[in-house]
């Protein structure tokens, strides 16, 4: 009779017992089956369920703890304690070493769902990589040479390696108004040198660029006198009345300013020739204090104190005098004073119309000693000395004739008498 031996279910021979085995060995076969079952399922004190791999849930023999592999959803499920629902397990049934938590909670935090809760922990370790949810910005940590990924975090070592490589490989290139230069960043120092009128000073983390004070022989920073210049928002302009004659060297010598240096345009400067030409071309009406409005023939200009100007007025002389020798007289009005009798002088006469008239000069009008030899007319008597003279005198006491005579008492007496008269 064939009777196998064994400790576990796999040791059983499916063809035993054979048909020719004696009935008396039946108990041996039963005891062997019990042995291998108990050893294959040690410490089992309740029903043992197999995993049901179906696309639909089992319909019969449903008990708490029953395992179901839902092949339609690729999920592993277990019957709940109340035996009224299935619980989906987190172990992936299609991927090795994978746990997929689609719902429920971990230490009170909601997993899955439309509004997942945040998970807080002390340390999150990923042996190979740390995978975050879809849409997360950071997907990992880069500790090597930095690449172009937009989702990897770089460690200090990776950043240092990258920066060192860049500094070693790159120079600082610069360019001035003229010329170019380069500095090897890991072996050279950039020197910012001052130029004419500029000084640079470096200390700690500060670089100071300062302008030197300007002099007559060196460029630099200069201030502007507020008396002559105006500065606003960096723009410099000449102040109003900022340039006076004290700042200009007038003269005709070298580097001096003369009229030849002044552009005239329409505002011509003075010269004698120009002044004479301007005066010759001017009209009396061009004067500021002369008003020629209404000026006509034979009018004159008369000063009017009310307007502080000379104004036109009819010529009184031309309007009143008609005959040669006429004078312009005044009594109560201006009037013609006609010429008088020939040889008559013009003498004062308060009773006359104009206070004067032509008349013979009265003796009272001749001052004492006013008539001398220069005022007496010559007579027919020749100037000279006469002896024993014969003299004739007219009614006005003038000598009309004189001649020398012969000695004689009578004649000498007559001459003496005539002279006495």
Confidence of residue 162 (pLDDT cuts 50, 70, 90): confident
- pLDDT score recorded for residue 201: 93
Q: Tell whether 395 is covered by a domain.
A: yes
The predicted pLDDT at position 371 comes to: 79
Question: Looking at the structure, do residues 315 and 342 belong to the same domain, yes or no?
Answer: no
Rounded to an integer, what distance in angstroms lies between the CA atom of residue 186 and that of residue 180? 19
- The reported pLDDT for the residue numbered 343 is 84
In a domain, 19, yes or no: yes
Query: Nearest to residue 248, comparing CAs of 236, 235, 237, 261?
Result: 261
Residue of 398, 357, 346 lying closest to 376 (CA atoms):
398
Residue given tokens 């999150």 in the structure block:
124
Question: Which DSSP state fits 375?
Answer: G
For residue range 219-240, what is the model confidence (pLDDT) as tens digits?
A: 888 888 888 999 999 899 999 9
Mean per-residue pLDDT over the chain, rounded = 81
> Same domain for 314 and 333?
no
Q: Is position 234 within any domain? A: no
Give the pLDDT of residue 238: 92
pLDDT of residue 108: 62
**What does the pLDDT look like over 185-199, one tens digit per residue?**
778 888 888 888 899
Q: Which DSSP letter does residue 155 get?
A: P
What's the DSSP call for residue 255? T
Please indicate, yes or no, whether the overall pTM of this predicted structure exceeds 0.75: no
C-alpha span between 70 and 75 (Å, rounded): 5
**Is residue 404 a part of any domain in this protein?**
yes
Query: Tokens in use for 131?
Result: 């995978």
Spatial distance between the Cα atoms of 77 and 51, rounded to a whole number of angstroms: 9
Report the C-alpha gap between 14 and 241 in whole angstroms.
Answer: 130
**Percent of the chain scored above 70 by pLDDT?**
87
| Residue 130: inside a domain | no
pLDDT of residue 208 exceeding 90, the answer is yes
Q: Is residue 232 part of a domain?
A: no
Please determine, for residue 50, whether its predicted confidence score (pLDDT) is greater than 90. Answer: no
Tens-digit pLDDT profile for residues 322-336: 788 888 888 888 888
CB 388 within 8 A of CB 412: yes
- Tell me how many domains the chain contains: 4
Residue 357 belongs to some domain of the structure: yes
Range of the domain at 285: 281-319
Q: What is the DSSP string of 190-216?
A: ------TTEEEEEETTEEEEEEPBP-S
In the predicted model, what is the mean pLDDT of residues 173-195?
86
Whether the CB-CB separation of 308 and 291 falls below 8 Å is answered with no
Q: How far apart are CA 248 and CA 322, in angstroms?
A: 65
**Tens-digit pLDDT profile for residues 59-114:** 877 888 888 888 888 888 898 999 899 888 877 777 777 666 655 666 666 665 55
CA trace torsion 387, 392, 395, 397 (10° rounding): -20
Both tokens of 84, joined, read: 């009224």
Residue 331 in any domain: the answer is yes
């Amino acid at each position: 009779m064939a009777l196998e031996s064994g400790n576990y279910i796999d040791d059983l021979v499916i063809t035993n017992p054979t048909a020719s085995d004696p009935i008396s060995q039946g108990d041996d076969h039963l005891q062997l089956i019990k042995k291998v079952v108990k050893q294959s399922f040690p410490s089992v004190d309740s029903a043992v369920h197999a995993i049901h791999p179906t696309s639909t849930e089992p319909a019969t023999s449903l008990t708490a703890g029953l395992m179901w592999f839902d092949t339609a959803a690729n999920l592993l499920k277990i019957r709940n304690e109340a035996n009224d629902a299935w619980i989906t397990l987190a172990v992936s049934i299609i991927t090795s070493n994978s746990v997929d938590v689609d719902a429920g909670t971990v230490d009170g935090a909601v997993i899955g769902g439309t509004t997942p809760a945040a998970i807080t922990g002390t340390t999150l370790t990923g042996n190979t990589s740390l995978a975050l949810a879809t849409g997360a910005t950071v997907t990992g940590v880069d500790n090597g040479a930095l690449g172009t990924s937009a989702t990897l975090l770089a460690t200090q070592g990776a950043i240092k390696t990258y920066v060192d490589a860049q500094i070693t490989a790159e120079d600082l290139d610069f360019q001035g108004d003229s010329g170019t230069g380069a500095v090897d960043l890991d072996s050279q120092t950039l020197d910012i040198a001052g130029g004419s009128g500029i000084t640079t000073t470096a200390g700690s983390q500060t670089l100071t660029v300062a302008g030197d004070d300007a002099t007559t022989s060196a460029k630099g920073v200069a201030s502007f006198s507020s008396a002559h210049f105006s500065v606003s928002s960096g723009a410099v302009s000449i102040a109003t009345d900022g340039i006076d004659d004290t700042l200009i060297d007038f003269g005709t010598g070298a580097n001096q300013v003369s009229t030849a240096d002044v552009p005239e345009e329409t505002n011509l400067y003075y010269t004698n020739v120009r002044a004479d030409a301007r005066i010759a071309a001017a009209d009396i009406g061009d004067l500021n204090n002369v008003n020629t409005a209404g000026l006509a023939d034979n009018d004159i200009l008369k000063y009017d104190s009310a307007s502080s100007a000379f104004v036109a007025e009819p010529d009184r002389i031309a309007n009143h005098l008609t005959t040669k020798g006429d004078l312009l007289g005044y009594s109560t009005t201006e009037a013609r004073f006609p010429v008088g009798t020939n040889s008559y002088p013009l003498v004062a006469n308060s009773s006359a119309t104009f206070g004067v008239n032509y008349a013979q000069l009265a003796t009272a009008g001749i001052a004492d000693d006013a008539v001398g030899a220069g005022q007496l007319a010559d007579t027919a008597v020749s100037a000279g000395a006469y002896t024993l003279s014969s003299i004739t005198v007219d009614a006005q006491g003038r000598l009309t004739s004189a001649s020398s005579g012969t000695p004689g008492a009578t004649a000498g007496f007559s001459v003496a008498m005539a002279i006495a008269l």
